[in-house]
Amino acid sequence: MSAEPDGPEDRLRRFATIWSRAVFPATSTSLTRPEFEELLLPLARRLSEALRARTYDAAEGRAVGAALVEAHCTEPEALSRALDCVDAYLVLYCGGDGHQEDLRARAARLQSAMAAGYAEALRQRTLAEQEAIARAALEAQGAVARALHATEARFRAVFEGAAIGIGIADLDGNILQVNGALLRMFGVTEQTMLGRCVVEWTHPEDAPQVWRLYEELVRAEREHYHTEKAFHRPDGTVLWTNLTVSLLRDADGNPQYQLALMEDTTERRLLNLRLRYEATHDALTGLPNRTLFFERLEKALAAGDGQRFGLCYLDLDGFKAINDSLGHAAGDRLLVEVADRLQSCATAPGEMVARLGGDEFVALTTGPDTESEVDDLADRIMNALVTPVRIDGRELLVRGSIGIVEGPAGERGPAEVLRSADITMYRAKSAGGNRYEVADAEADARAITRHGLTTALPAALDRGEFFIEYQPLVHLGDGTVRGAEALVRWLHPQHGVLGPDRFIPLAERTGLIVPLGRWVLEQSVRQAREWQRRHGGTGPLRVNVNLSPCQLTHPGLVQDTVEILERAGLEPDALCLEVTESALIGADDDLLKPLRRLSEMGIDIALDDFGTGYSNLANLRRLPVRVLKLDRSFTQGMQQFPADPVDLKIVEGIVSLAHSLDLAVTVEGVETGAQAEQLRVLGCDTAQGWYYARPGPPERLHELALVDATG
């Protein structure tokens, strides 16, 4: 086994330790806690393997549940503690690097299999115990028979002294004799019992074969049968029994009586039901929990032709804020109130509401007409949330976002359906919340790729999957190449080359933009130094590098940049950092300070995509900016001939304002010679665009610059 401090084996061991600590107090085992942990370790391993196995095997979960009964974990608390622990820690410690939602779904199914295995094992054990008692009783019956022949007195003693209920009837079912234990079970007197007929004792929950077995016995076609059977008590309650009925023959072997031995299992049955209830319901709200919901969803998705399902996945808006500001007790009360309201929205047959955890709820509707029903269900839920909730004298507004998935049974699995609902719910949230959205396959696919890309990003940087293309910046006056903008790309192993628009926003959201941006800066600065070394003489070639808003607020920005320049031996004035206009709108002094420091060192700052952010032109004076990069949309307006006169006026105005503030103007997206000429006439300084070159490898720029310098 691995001796590494944090290998899978250690994690498994840790899970077994936590599990044993949780369950041990609720066992009646004679083992010590460490011994008990050793006993759980192989069970933990089974769960861990079943969790990650390619296909789900309910038998594994059931076996673990059964093993818990074997290990004497039969106190009322034991199962729920074991399940809680699996719920909280199995995926965490044993999930490996699998897909979280799939792992959670698998863990939920394993829990329900454990609960089933546990209940079944408990039932089997009870039956086995009953069997032993019944066998003893049958032996007693032998004794009874003998005693019948011998002395009536001894028979009486055995009959009356038995702890289990004993009754004797003739073969027509007329009850002849019962003992005290049986009378106590039924809560009746001997008088009311005697003379009644066995066949009156039907109960709606009788197993289908019970009365067939009875008929066979009284026809002497079988010697005995064994079953679980319910009886009505006169007080209206139900008595559950383990019942063994035997045929009694006379001394000559002719069938004469039937003998019933029964043990009261009502309590144990209730306990089992309670255990099952606890394992499948949320303790706070009493709603069905994730486990039960998955069972129902699975069933709904496996239903036959013509059956459909509709799912509303609800997440409360801003619940965390309520929890944080009013405390968890208030948050809990809010959840209980929401649960009650949701419950009243889904009362029709085939509908259910469950709490998945936290402030996430689901409502499910099944049947042939969910296409029209599911929208109604979502409307009912939204309406139910409208009235504010009163807590501690405050009126709390409750809002929620719902993702709806609807479709035919038999096409998708529960994990996939839930993932789609989750994605759709997030779509409703990002559209402002307090609304519902309906899942569509295309949006799902986009979100899934986005999710896939996000999770693949960190490793991509380590694996060297990013590369940089450079696009020349050309002087409009003399046509020489003055530098280039560094544009990052990702060579994704499956999706091929991805442009920055596909992954920069994701990198910003996950924070990876900081190391990625630093890498781009490092590469580009080194590249600029390389161009200068090979291309001395004709003026320095500069490099433009884009900075994200997150990098701007990162405390290491100035220090990192200085170090990178020094290490490469590049002068600061050969570097231009591009910051988008939108990142600087409303920027305060704190945000501008690092930019100011960089600018003071001689690094140029360019305002990228200028003209898209509606910034106040008068504000430009405040900013430590030396270059305006006019957005592509202005250049596009000049594509037709003659160019739009309003566009021309605007560009002319911006250029003259920029020049009066001592700012240089670069134009982006120049695609034709006519545009270039127009922009030159308007006074723009530098241009960038496909007319000159598309972004390309660094060597290309070197060639271009040489051609320009010589030609």
Q: Min. distance of Cβ 503 from ligand C2E in angstroms?
A: 10
**Segment contacting Mg ion (CB under 5 A): 65-73, 492-500, 577-585, 586-594?**
577-585
Q: What are phi and psi of 396, to 5 degrees?
A: -100, 130
3-class DSSP assignment, residue 609: strand
Q: Work out whether 504 is an interface residue with ligand C2E (CB under 6 A).
A: yes
The tokens 């997206």 sit on which residue?
A: 669
Q: Min. distance of Cβ 549 from ligand C2E in angstroms?
A: 9
Contacted by 487, from Mg ion, ligand C2E, none: CB < 5 to 8 Å by type: ligand C2E
Q: Work out whether 671 is an interface residue with ligand C2E (CB under 6 A).
A: yes
Please, which residues bridge with residue 580 across strands? 608
Please select the residue that binds Mg ion; options are 366, 546, 551, 688, rule is CB under 5 A. 546
**Segment contacting ligand C2E (CB under 6 A): 123-131, 171-179, 450-458, 543-551?**
543-551
Q: Min. distance of Cβ 669 from ligand C2E in angstroms?
A: 4
Long-range CB contact pairs, 611-616, < 8 A, 24+? 611/581, 611/654, 612/581, 612/582, 613/580, 613/581, 613/582, 613/585, 614/585, 615/581, 615/584, 615/585
Please select the residue that binds ligand C2E; options are 517, 594, 624, 698, rule is CB under 6 A. 517
139 token code pair:
């032996």
Contacted by 520, from Mg ion, ligand C2E, none: CB < 5 to 8 Å by type: ligand C2E
Distance separating alpha carbons of residues 93 and 284, to the nearest angstrom: 26
**Cβ distance 263 to 242 under 8 Å?**
yes
Please select the residue that binds ligand C2E; options are 246, 689, 701, 702, rule is CB under 6 A. 689
Q: Work out whether 604 is an interface residue with ligand C2E (CB under 6 A).
A: no
CA neighbor of 397 nearest in space, from 410, 382, 407, 411 = 382
* Residue 644 backbone zone (phi > 0: left; psi -120 to 50: alpha; other: beta): beta
**Cβ distance 539 to 475 under 8 Å?**
no
Indicate the helix (H) or strand (E) that contains 347: none
**DSSP assignment of 288-311, as one string?**
B-HHHHHHHHHHHHH--TT-EEEE
Q: Work out whether 528 is an interface residue with ligand C2E (CB under 6 A).
A: no
By CB under 6 A, what part of segment 437-476 binds ligand C2E? 471
Contacted by 333, from ligand C2E, Mg ion, none: CB < 5 to 8 Å by type: none
**Segment contacting ligand C2E (CB under 6 A): 226-234, 303-311, 619-627, 686-694?**
686-694
**Segment contacting Mg ion (CB under 5 A): 387-395, 497-505, 514-522, 661-669?**
661-669
**DSSP assignment of 172-232, as one string?**
T-BEEEE-HHHHHHHT--HHHHTT-BGGG---TT--TTHHHHHHHHHTTS-SEEEEEEEEE
Q: Min. distance of Cβ 71 from ligand C2E in angstroms?
A: 57
- Within 8 A by CB and 6+ apart from 268, the residues are 122, 126
Q: Work out whether 337 is an interface residue with Mg ion (CB under 5 A).
A: no
Indicate the helix (H) or strand (E) that contains 627: strand 627-630
Q: Work out whether 500 is an interface residue with ligand C2E (CB under 6 A).
A: yes
**Segment contacting ligand C2E (CB under 6 A): 199-207, 248-256, 326-334, 669-677?**
669-677
**Segment contacting Mg ion (CB under 5 A): 250-258, 343-351, 458-466, 608-616?**
608-616
**Segment contacting ligand C2E (CB under 6 A): 141-149, 200-208, 474-482, 544-552?**
544-552
Burial 20-48 (b: 16+ CB within 10 A, else e): bebbbebbeeeeeeeebbebbbebbbbbb
**Cβ distance 396 to 388 under 8 Å?**
yes
Q: Min. distance of Cβ 695 from ligand C2E in angstroms?
A: 5
Q: Work out whether 599 is an interface residue with Mg ion (CB under 5 A).
A: no
Q: Min. distance of Cβ 538 from ligand C2E in angstroms?
A: 24
Instruction: Kindly tell me which of 71 and 664 has the beta carbon lying closer to ligand C2E.
Output: 664
**Segment contacting ligand C2E (CB under 6 A): 20-28, 542-550, 559-567, 582-590?**
542-550
The size of the chain, in residues, is 711
CB atoms within 10 A of CB 458: 15
Distance separating alpha carbons of residues 260 and 328, to the nearest angstrom: 56
Instruction: Kindly tell me which of 264 and 609 has the beta carbon lying closer to Mg ion.
Output: 609
Distance separating alpha carbons of residues 694 and 682, to the nearest angstrom: 24
Site string for ligand C2E, 410-429 (x = CB under 6 A): --------------------
3-class DSSP assignment, residue 335: helix
Please select the residue that binds ligand C2E; options are 290, 669, 702, 708, rule is CB under 6 A. 669
**Cβ distance 711 to 491 under 8 Å?**
no
The tokens 């080194």 sit on which residue?
A: 526
**Cβ distance 245 to 260 under 8 Å?**
yes
| Total of chain residues touching Mg ion, rule CB under 5 A | 5
By CB under 5 A, what part of segment 382-421 binds Mg ion? none
Please select the residue that binds ligand C2E; options are 172, 190, 690, 703, rule is CB under 6 A. 690
Distance separating alpha carbons of residues 59 and 686, to the nearest angstrom: 71
**Segment contacting Mg ion (CB under 5 A): 80-88, 215-223, 513-521, 540-548?**
540-548
* Residue 642, preceding peptide bond in cis (omega within 30° of 0): yes
Please select the residue that binds ligand C2E; options are 87, 608, 685, 708, rule is CB under 6 A. 608
**Segment contacting Mg ion (CB under 5 A): 343-351, 403-411, 515-523, 665-673?**
665-673
Contacted by 471, from ligand C2E, Mg ion, none: CB < 5 to 8 Å by type: ligand C2E
160 token code pair:
């009356």
Instruction: Kindly tell me which of 48 and 688 has the beta carbon lying closer to ligand C2E.
Output: 688
Q: Min. distance of Cβ 527 from ligand C2E in angstroms?
A: 13
Q: Work out whether 686 is an interface residue with ligand C2E (CB under 6 A).
A: no
Q: Work out whether 548 is an interface residue with ligand C2E (CB under 6 A).
A: yes
Q: Min. distance of Cβ 619 from ligand C2E in angstroms?
A: 20
Strands 400-408 and 435-438: parallel
Contacted by 337, from ligand C2E, Mg ion, none: CB < 5 to 8 Å by type: none
Report CA 269 to chain centroid distance, whole Å.
34
Instruction: Kindly tell me which of 280 and 524 has the beta carbon lying closer to Mg ion.
Output: 524
CA neighbor of 594 nearest in space, from 619, 620, 558 = 558
Q: Min. distance of Cβ 99 from ligand C2E in angstroms?
A: 29
CA distance from start to end of the chain = 70
Please select the residue that binds Mg ion; options are 317, 578, 581, 604, rule is CB under 5 A. 578
Please select the residue that binds Mg ion; options are 263, 608, 685, 708, rule is CB under 5 A. 608
Contacted by 499, from ligand C2E, Mg ion, none: CB < 5 to 8 Å by type: ligand C2E
Q: Min. distance of Cβ 546 from Mg ion in angstroms?
A: 4
**Segment contacting ligand C2E (CB under 6 A): 184-192, 408-416, 541-549, 566-574?**
541-549
Interior CA angle at 489 toward 484 and 495, to 5°? 155
Q: Min. distance of Cβ 376 from Mg ion in angstroms?
A: 48
By CB under 6 A, what part of segment 630-649 binds ligand C2E? 632
CA neighbor of 407 nearest in space, from 312, 310, 314 = 310
Indicate the helix (H) or strand (E) that contains 240: strand 238-249
In the DSSP assignment, the letter for residue 361 is: E
| Total of chain residues touching ligand C2E, rule CB under 6 A | 24
In the DSSP assignment, the letter for residue 696 is: B
Which positions lie near ligand C2E, rule CB under 6 A?
471, 487-488, 499-501, 504, 517, 520, 546-548, 578, 608-609, 632, 668-671, 688-690, 695
Which positions lie near Mg ion, rule CB under 5 A?
546, 578, 608-609, 668
